[in-house]
Structure 1
């Protein structure tokens, strides 16, 4: 008879624990799918709505705490409930620490505890939790979260940081392979490739892999409502001079999180930059006609400097002198075997350490904007300088965003070392690698 009573009580406990899990599942469903039941115009209410929902469910959990407080599953679900908030919770850490002590094989509890340590700023403890979880079972959450932690850990030198970034890419790839439909894993992989791109020599293949991973993430309904995804992808679009896509990304991130100022500020900065560039191209840097003609009168083939030598090695590896061409005759894309040449008529400081921008006019008085990347803070060109661009890469920009339109051509230069300024090559101190930040603002992304 006693055995039957014990069995019946176990059955009741199982039911109670199942109810608790379903309540917490409902909380995460509410948060992750918020925009399925609310319009984007209500995005500003989301943090308060999620907090209110968390407090309601927490109250229901606490009503059952006396009978279940020593149960591992109850402790984990309470910790998981508290973990929905973006900030660190000492109560969540306590629940989860007790849960993993009672059952060291509980992978999900280790993952959520790792999340709490991340929020607390204790990256080493977070790493240890995730590594421990992976020793129990290979799972996508531990893999992708460990990928994030590795990229944030302080490194003694660039080599150590580079190795960690490479390892983080491998971990994020593994997470994706375990579930190719999980948009959060694709988002973390995109961030890993973005970090790899700027850590390991800006190989274009890595930026394309980052964009591909972000595109996969954006197909997922949960990941696509994450403002960080749109913001990170917009930063990379900006670097790749896909300005229209960047503006859309910043705008979307701002709409999804109206309390986050940075996307709105970035959108505003980029619009102001495009406005300024368009205006300066149109009026040739506001240089007066007489002064401009005086400047251009000294522009001749002698300005080619080393580019006129038969031994000149172009950025593409081609050996031989370059033929000067007018700016209007340059087709879009890479122009092998030729050089663009002109006088500087305006310059703009780099926007958020992105590109040093200047405008130059050639002998035909055609004006084009030049965007130079990886420049040191001390590097620049002055109005009146003669600039030669070997094998220029010409782009056409046609952008429309929020009733604003911009249409202009530019030349992209990946390093100041590729330019000839006043007949001279630039010294190595003129170059410093640019970096583009990516966001993991809220927490380690958890799938429930």
Structure 2
């Protein structure tokens, strides 16, 4: 008789586990069965499914003999919601006391701590889970938590990011078909890109990881966080069309999240303002512009006129001044762009300090300078020399708006000559872009 009871109890647990698995599947594949137009309803639809599953679980609570396994299922069910749950924390705390070897119990308890804002508690849970068994969930969760933990110095932060990348790589190696692990690796590479001198190799690895996430897992294409984080990187790389598309997609997938539409709006406003200012040369009156340009001559080249000048490309020798119209697309080795500042835009929410430059022919072009300190800027009337300028052409169409303009990208203010002088080291500070994790 006892054997029959035990068998029946196990069958109940299998059935309940299937119910909870179906709940996760409902949330994760929501847009495979619902139109994106229903995105506004996703949260309430998932909440209803949680309630239904919870009621079914409660029907078996009193008669279930395997208390730890039952509490784990209840904790898993409540963990589907994006917010912290006191009941889930209580259930899962009991699970790890009753069955300390249950890795899943430690993982979900860690996720609850994380949602609660207790990052050190979350880290401890994922670390304990990995001590019990190496698994992809603990690895990728620990990777995400490490990047969010406060650090005493840049050095310790960089060490945490390197460890985070290594953990995410291990998660991918355990299961190369897991889209969530690839997505986590993409975020880790974004962090590494910004804390390691913006090595382009790491941004490419981030893009590749995001693409692989979508390739191996259909559900990953529905992560609003993936589209948002990738859009931030696209914007930094001046791939503005892709950035706008990414913000727009993230906003569609999660209409309750304010950041994506706000970033899309800010970027559109920035592009509108920039193109308008290029067209009217910063609204500088013709007479004033002629006066500004009258003292623009090769003496402004400053150190660039020296035969010992070392260019960004590593070339040693003086640079030949060129008008903006004479510059070719891409890198212009051995030459310098020379002009006057006619407008500037502060970097708030835009990643780059932007200014307009007019040359002796009165051609106007926009310059985007990255990694600038808050105290650094270019003032109207300043003479700017850009050694070996990198020219980019932007043709952007998004929704009902179109933009077409040329720009020069400058990765650091230290590369510029302003009013005949090199810039001080204090003018540079590394830019950082935070990513939003998928913690659900």
Q: Same fold (TM over 0.5)?
A: yes
In the alignment, the residues of structure 1 paired with residue 121 and residue 280 of structure 2 have an alpha-carbon distance, to the nearest angstrom, of 58
User: Which of 170, 175, 185 is equivalent to 1:174?
Assistant: 170
User: Which of 396, 400, 406 is equivalent to 2:397?
Assistant: 400
SS in 2 for 1:377: coil
Q: Is the 8 A contact 1:353 1:434 kept in 2?
A: no
SS in 1 for 2:246: helix
User: Which of 8, 14, 21 is equivalent to 1:18?
Assistant: 14
Q: 1:439 to 1:69 in 2, by over 3 A?
A: farther
Q: Is the 8 A contact 2:270 2:350 kept in 1?
A: no
> Counterpart of 1:148?
144
Residue 70 of structure 1 and its aligned partner are, at CA, apart by 4.6
SS in 2 for 1:375: coil
Matches within 5 A, 1:377-392: 377-392=374-389
Deviations 1:25-71 (A, max 9, x none): 11111100111111111101111110111001101100110011652
Q: 1:69 to 1:382 in 2, by over 3 A?
A: farther
In the alignment, the residues of structure 1 paired with residue 73 and residue 65 of structure 2 have an alpha-carbon distance, to the nearest angstrom, of 11
> Counterpart of 1:138?
134
TM-score (norm 2): 0.98
Residue 351 of structure 1 and its aligned partner are, at CA, apart by 3.5
In the alignment, the residues of structure 2 paired with residue 16 and residue 79 of structure 1 have an alpha-carbon distance, to the nearest angstrom, of 17
User: Which of 221, 224, 232 is equivalent to 1:224?
Assistant: 221
Quick check: 431-440 or 247-256, which moved more? 431-440
Where do 5+ consecutive residues of structure 2 fail to align? none
User: Which of 391, 404, 417 is equivalent to 1:420?
Assistant: 417
SS in 2 for 1:312: coil
Q: Is the 8 A contact 1:69 1:75 kept in 2?
A: no
> Counterpart of 1:344?
341
Residue 149 of structure 1 and its aligned partner are, at CA, apart by 1.0
SS in 2 for 1:64: helix
Asked whether 1:366 is paired with 2:363, we answer yes
Quick check: 212-221 or 240-249, which moved more? 212-221
In the alignment, the residues of structure 1 paired with residue 281 and residue 124 of structure 2 have an alpha-carbon distance, to the nearest angstrom, of 58
SS in 1 for 2:74: helix
> Counterpart of 2:354?
357
Quick check: 161-170 or 220-229, which moved more? 220-229
Quick check: 18-27 or 67-76, which moved more? 67-76
> Which stretches of structure 1, 4 residues or longer, exceed 6 Å deviation after superposition?
none
Deviations 1:260-294 (A, max 9, x none): 11110110110011111111111111112222122
SS in 1 for 2:147: helix
SS in 2 for 1:310: coil
Matches within 5 A, 1:282-361: 282-352=279-349, 354-361=351-358
> Counterpart of 1:186?
182
Asked whether 1:252 is paired with 2:255, we answer no
SS in 1 for 2:63: helix
The two structures, once aligned, show a CA RMSD in angstroms of 1.2
Deviations 1:339-389 (A, max 9, x none): 011111111111416100001011111111000011111111111111000
> Counterpart of 2:93?
97
Asked whether 1:210 is paired with 2:200, we answer no
> Counterpart of 2:45?
49
